[in-house]
Amino acid sequence: KNQVEQSPQSLIILEGKNCTLQCNYTVSPFSNLRWYKQDTGRGPVSLTIMTFSENTKSNGRYTATLDADTKQSSLHITASQLSDSASYICVVKVVGGGADGLTFGKGTHLIIQP
């Protein structure tokens, strides 16, 4: 069964600090991996999309890495800001696949404290 596991479940850091969120997946055959940011009470918004051949992708202070061999991805947030407080969801897409072919992780709830 396709699965996406995220860690930690929740994280509290001080403003200005860096942090790294983890995503492990067993989805096969792999097509791409996406990270979404979901603010409280809002819908998810895409941060990055990574394909099999991409190891690193940045979006401002967000940097995602992908190791397709070990089936792991990470999202690194640099110089955190209060607005980074949100849930971060890892989503993996299979090649083809029924319906939308997407498997969603449960998310990491990140709190930035001043």
Q: Which residues bind other proteins (CB under 8 A)?
A: 4, 31-32, 34, 41-46, 49, 51, 89, 93, 99-107
Give 19 or 23: the residue with its C-beta nearer to other proteins. 23
Give 44 or 112: the residue with its C-beta nearer to other proteins. 44
In terms of DSSP H, where are the helices of the chain? none
Task: Supply the minimum distance, in Å, between the C-beta of residue 5 and other proteins.
Answer: 10
Q: How far from 19 is each of 16, 38, 73, CA to CA, in Å?
A: 10, 17, 14
Give 80 or 103: the residue with its C-beta nearer to other proteins. 103
Task: Supply the minimum distance, in Å, between the C-beta of residue 52 and other proteins.
Answer: 9
Task: Supply the minimum distance, in Å, between the C-beta of residue 30 and other proteins.
Answer: 11
Task: Supply the minimum distance, in Å, between the C-beta of residue 40 and other proteins.
Answer: 11
Strands 45-51 and 102-104: unpaired
SS3 85: coil
Give 41 or 60: the residue with its C-beta nearer to other proteins. 41
Q: How far from 75 is each of 21, 36, 72, 99, CA to CA, in Å?
A: 5, 10, 11, 27
Q: How far apart are CA 15 and CA 111, in angstroms?
A: 9
